[in-house]
Structure 1
């Protein structure tokens, strides 16, 4: 009996040691993001991933958007940082990919890259080596969001031409309704206003001419579009030059303004603040009937792997999960934010509208083309449009200043 008891005790101890070893073998991944408002969604997705991969746990941590890039860059430069990183795209990607902080991705270590259009992968590609460094996570469109009830009560339909937009705004103002909630005190909002309202007027040909150097930003097409923006600003939020981004959001979400020129990413936030809102979207109005209506699109970052991670295999498994149509479908339908993954199923009607509009687009020009060097095209556009709308510059002067800054490094403008 004593011998049997000893054998059983030894077996139990062995079992305990084995289970302890198994527990120690668990891999914990750290995952950083600036998307604080999406935390519940990511925690749910992490739970689903962990159920399919019981040997891996993921700790999700968020930081304030305005501080995120600095915190991340500092950690990576010190050889630390998270295993999986939500990164920006275009020029902001290059700042952390160029020093070698990110693991290159290809269709061998992430076969799911085949689920993305080439334009999305290009946004997460380092220009100097042509390698992809992140799995794209969202397609954003700059357009006009409108309150359907306000439009219906005022007897209006979404305007298609610029003249129709101006008439609609005048009708709303005559009824003591603020036509646009937008303010211009927050600098970056001036760029979203340009994308949301002027894309159709500028057009794909203008973008092609700018990229090739056939035209620059003193082109009449750009100057005239800025002049139209100056005209419509009379219908922005009262005292709009002093109205910041949160205030303009609150004005629209409260149902006290009819339109908001900005990104498709605003929709979920507006609905969260006021679930009773019945919203619609329309593209930037065309200058004349028959012109192509466009929205301005860009890819809003991606998921990358830290090149110095001790858990690269597990991190790649997680990134591959974030590149599946199943994940993209959940992302789109939960966050009302369009995933670029092919084969997703969109349930939300307004997100379906955004997806349809995104089929006819030009680039969100400064972000996609001119945010790689200093002075950034985005900063130039934001600051000079802000001054123009405040009456401190003419459209011609704003265009000239924008062009002057970009010409310091953009060779096609130096001819």
Structure 2
């Protein structure tokens, strides 16, 4: 009996030792992300990678968008940032690289499978510091199919139609547009699409070069359209947080919402039965309906990480077909070439919406990197009449840093 017990004890000891060795060999990668509404979808992708790589444990922490940048900046300064973190491409990523916070991935990552726009967005002076692993987003105009069908309405294509539609919906007791404007993000995207409807991609390059300005008479019309659109917003729009506004729309509390491809996943989290369509945002009269597109904060590797090789290997895998398909089917548009939505009709509509007049977001470019924030800070003053559209446009123009190389 003693021999049997001794043998069992030895077996338990050996098993415990083996489990301990496995635990010691497991590499833990910490990852910060700023879309809590995507948590289950992102974790499904991470779980797939962990199944294929049982020695890797990716610990995801979701941080709401309004708190993400503050926490990350504090953590980077203190040397306590996670192994993997997302940053907006362009000036923000460049600043982090210059400060030595991120790993130069130029010779570590193969980006040949990315779309041309994704490659352009993550390339800074010939170097690569990030990977657009959670895709890109296109922003357009969502609308409630039921509201439009029941009232015999069609999505507007220009400013005149949009404002008339707002009046019609108000008369029917329907809130025309949900616009959570507390942090200025929605107004910034609205203005970007209104400007894009006038200048298109080539005109945006002219703005970057300084040969065209936000104060030009035709572009100034976008500031007037933005001011007028405020009358279409829900009551209390300036006090409504972004996340709350998206939930209101998902629950059918308003007919329209400016939103991105990535927002659809959040709608479904709030209301699995949500039924929406999406079109380009209505043009400033005389312009072309437009969308704007940017990268979902590409991921960087912390220069102080103890697991740089493992973090890079994960980023490389994320740009391959299987995870890219999961991204486009469950979250947003992919940046991997050749991947299309399997059966997500809203994503297909968003792709179609961006075919004719799609312009990159202001903040991804060094010349216009500050424009988005300036609009955020001054949109409320425009809505409330504290500044005129002319003054607003001049403030925006003053934030441009034209490039002689454009």
Asked if 1:131 is matched to 2:127, the reply is: yes
2:340 to 339, 345, 361: 345
1:95 paired with 2:95, answer: yes
Contact 2:249-2:255 at 8 Å conserved across structures: yes
| Conservation of the 8 A alpha-carbon contact between 1:371 and 1:378 | no
Task: Figure out how many residues of one structure are paired with residues of the other and give that number.
Answer: 400
The aligned counterpart of 2:375 is 381
Give, in whole Å, the separation in 2 of the partners of 1:60 and 1:251: 27
Cα gap change, 1:310 to 1:172, in 2 (>3 Å): same
SS in 2 for 1:164: helix
Residue of 169, 176, 196 corresponding to 1:172 = 169
Report deviation, 1:153: 1.2
Q: Give 1:147 deviation, angstroms.
A: 0.4
Which position in structure 2 is the counterpart of 1:3?
Answer: none
| Secondary structure in structure 1 of the residue aligned to 2:59 | strand
Q: Secondary structure at the match of 1:93?
A: helix
1:201 aligns with 2:206: no
Following superposition of structure 1 onto structure 2, how do residues 258-337 of structure 1 map, counting pairs within 5 Å?
258-287=255-284, 292-335=288-331, 337=332
SS of 2:300 mapped into structure 1 = strand
For 2:257 and 2:18, locate their aligned partners in 1 and report how far apart those are by CA, in whole Å.
Answer: 60
**Aligned pair in 2 of structure 1 residues 211, 184: CA closer, same or farther (>3 Å)?**
same
Cα gap change, 1:382 to 1:31, in 2 (>3 Å): closer
How far has the Cα of 1:328 moved from its partner?
1.1
SS in 2 for 1:215: coil
Q: Aligned equivalents of 2:94 and 2:279: distance in 1?
A: 33
1:135: Cα distance to partner? 1.0
List per-residue Cα deviations over 1:260-310 (Å, max 9, x = no partner). Answer: 123233222223222232100110223457x54320111121122222322
TM-aligned CA deviation for residue 22 of structure 1: 4.7
Question: What's the offset of the Cα at 1:198?
Answer: 4.8
State the match for 2:155 in structure 1.
Answer: 158
**Structure 2: gaps (5+ residues):** 1-5
TM normalised by structure 2 equals 0.87
Does the aligned pair in 1 maintain the 2:208–2:402 contact within 8 Å?
Answer: no
Structure 2 CA distance for aligned equivalents of residues 252 and 28 of structure 1: 38
* 1:138 shift after superposition: 2.2
Of 215, 230, 233, the match for 2:230:
233
Task: Work out whether residues 30 and 84 of structure 2, in 8 Å CA contact, stay in contact via their aligned partners in 1.
Answer: yes
1:60-105 CA deviation, whole Å, 9 max, x = no partner?
2233433333333333344443222233322222232222222222
**Partners in 2 of 1:271 and 1:25 — Cα distance?**
38
- Supply the distance in 1 between the matched residues of 2:63 and 2:349 (Cα, whole angstroms): 31
Larger radius of gyration: 1
- Describe the shift of the 1:75–1:391 C-alpha distance in structure 2 as closer, same or farther (beyond 3 A): closer
Q: CA deviation at 1:144?
A: 0.7
Aligned partner of 1:400 in structure 2 is 394
**Secondary structure in structure 1 of the residue aligned to 2:267:** helix
Partner of 1:359 in structure 2? Answer: 355
- The answer on whether the counterparts of 1:122 and 1:132 sit within 8 Å (CA) in structure 2 is no
Aligned mates of 2:282, 2:23 — CA distance in 1: 59
In the TM superposition, what is the alpha-carbon distance from 1:395 to its structure 2 partner?
1.0
Decide whether aligned partners of structure 1 residues 97 and 235 sit closer, same or farther in structure 2, where only a CA change above 3 A counts: same
Structure 1 residues 369 and 17, CA gap change in structure 2 (3 angstroms): closer
SS in 2 for 1:66: helix
Q: Provide closer, same or farther for how the CA distance between residues 22 and 339 of structure 1 changes in structure 2, counting only shifts above 3 A.
A: same
Cα distance in 2, alignment partners of residues 259 and 29 from structure 1: 40
Matches within 5 A, 1:50-89: 50-89=50-89
State the SS of the aligned residue for 1:233: helix
Cα deviation, 1:358-390, whole Å, max 9, x if unaligned, reads 3334434431235876xx222222233321111
Alignment TM-score, normalising by the size of structure 1? 0.85
